[in-house]
Amino acid sequence: MSGKASNPATRLPSRLNLGVLVSGRGSTLQALIDACAAPDYPARIVLVLSNVASAAALERAAKAGIATAVLEHKTFPSREVFDEAMRARLVAAGADLVCLAGFMRLLSPAFVEAFAGRLINIHPSLLPAFPGLHVHENVLASGVRFTGCSVHFVSAEMDAGPIIVQAAVPVDPSDTAESLGARVIGAEHQCYPLAVRWIAEGRVRINGVRVEVDGAAAAAAPLINPQPTSSISAKK
């Protein structure tokens, strides 16, 4: 990313066209489908592309009347050839913004460069903490009080790139990886459509390693976990 501010997705006269890359069950895709169903939402999904033919996400897309395509990476001689095939499909579909929604493949530098400023991902942690896989297990093993999710522009480095929006999720002492993950997914389903909306409305600018969002309010109060009890507060 350059040090200069740039607008990755200028506001279009019609809805922003989304291409969504998936590999699994598609719960995050469903959140985007539901958001796009609202008449005032400024984006629409024009293609759902998967590298797994059996991905349940494809069924979700078909049920919503969205075009789908399957490109199984194992049938391609290299990652670069596979990524070029994906790029061509997305361009042919008219995708303005590419959303990774549980897409379990590392992207080549050429693909990332082709969609620079127009490629976003959601990760189930407060990046830059806990990148990679097995996030919730690693969170619980670390003893941190908060985790969450991050929507960010994709860079050549895994789970990096300027962050658009984050949501904090408290960690409970009784949490398992499954229970914590379920709450984080709930936050993901709020944050991803919000980030897409901001981009579609032309409110997002990349300025170096930071993202500036016009008209977005940040939380004024600190988030505390665990919460102090009234008795503890009274003693202070």
CA-to-CA distance for 194 and 206, rounded, in angstroms? 17
Mean per-residue pLDDT, 20-26? 98
What pLDDT is stored for residue 218 in this prediction?
84
Task: Name 146's bridge partners.
Answer: 170
Q: What percent of the chain has pLDDT over 70?
A: 92
Q: What is the mean pLDDT of residues 160-176?
A: 97
Q: Which residues contact 54 (CB under 8 A, 6 or more apart)?
A: none
Q: How many CB atoms lie within 10 A of CB 226?
A: 10
pLDDT given for residue 7 in this prediction: 58
DSSP letter assigned to residue 220? -
- What's the whole-number average pLDDT of the chain? 93
User: Please, are residues 203 and 194 in contact by the beta-carbon 8 Å criterion?
Assistant: no
Q: Decide which of 227 and 75 is more confident.
A: 75
Our separate counts of H helices and E strands in the chain read 7, 10
The residue from 73, 123, 134, 189 that is catalytic is: 123
Q: Residue 230: which pLDDT band, with cuts at 50, 70 and 90?
A: low
Query: Looking at residue 66, what is its pLDDT?
Result: 99
**Residue 31: closest CA among 232, 200, 197:** 197
Q: Give the model confidence (pLDDT) of 96-146 as tens digits.
A: 999 999 999 999 999 999 999 999 999 999 999 999 999 999 999 999 999
pLDDT tens track for 24-48: 999 999 999 999 999 999 999 999 9
**Structure tokens of 165?**
């929006």
Q: Are 30 and 61 in contact (CB under 8 A)?
A: no
Give buried/exposed letters for 84-102 (b at 16+ CB in 10 A, else e). Answer: bbbbebbeebebbbbbbbb
Q: Is 136 a catalytic residue?
A: no
206 vs 8, more confident? 206
Task: Quickly state the pLDDT bin for 8 (edges 50, 70, 90).
Answer: low
CA proximity to 149, closest of 116, 176, 183: 183
Q: Which residue has the higher pLDDT, 229 or 199?
A: 199
Say what the pTM is.
0.91
Q: What is the pLDDT of residue 34?
A: 99
Q: What's the rounded Cα separation, in Å, for the pair 67 and 169? A: 34
Answer whether 93's CB lies under 8 Å from 17's CB.
yes
pLDDT given at position 191: 98
What does R_g of the chain's alpha carbons equal in angstroms? 19
Q: What is the pLDDT of residue 217?
A: 85
Q: Domains along the chain?
A: 14-115 (3.40.50.170), 121-212 (3.40.50.170)
Structure tokens at 226: 């665990």
Helix (H, G, I), strand (E, B) or coil at 30: helix
State residue 26's pLDDT score: 98
- Strands of 84-228 (E only): list them: 97-100, 119-123, 146-153, 163-170, 204-207, 210-213
Neighbours of 81 (CB within 10 A): 12
pLDDT reported for residue 6 = 55
